[in-house]
Amino acid sequence: MILFCPDLVGKEEVKAACVGNGDFVKPVLNPCIKEKCVAYKDGYCKKYHNKVEDKP
């Protein structure tokens, strides 16, 4: 079962609090948009061939 859509993954840059090293990029996982998605039908993702979990 999938909860997060691989097509909706983004990234967020986090800057260090102090000058120097420490900046990093973290992934942002977005939940499946279900009925708004073309690949979604009756709890199943046709693109990734998986059931979509109901709980966020």
| Strand pairing report for 40-41 and 44-45 | antiparallel
pLDDT digits (tens, 9 = 90+) for 28-40: 999 999 999 999 9
pLDDT bucket at 19, cuts 50 / 70 / 90: confident
Predicted TM-score of the model (pTM) = 0.64
**How many angstroms separate the CA atoms of 22 and 15, rounded?**
7
pLDDT-above-70 percentage for the chain: 96
CA-nearest of 30, 41, 36, 33 to 6 is 30
Output 12-16 pairs: Cβ under 8 A, ≥24 positions apart. none
β-sheet bridge partners, residue 41: 44
- pLDDT reading at 55 higher than 80: no
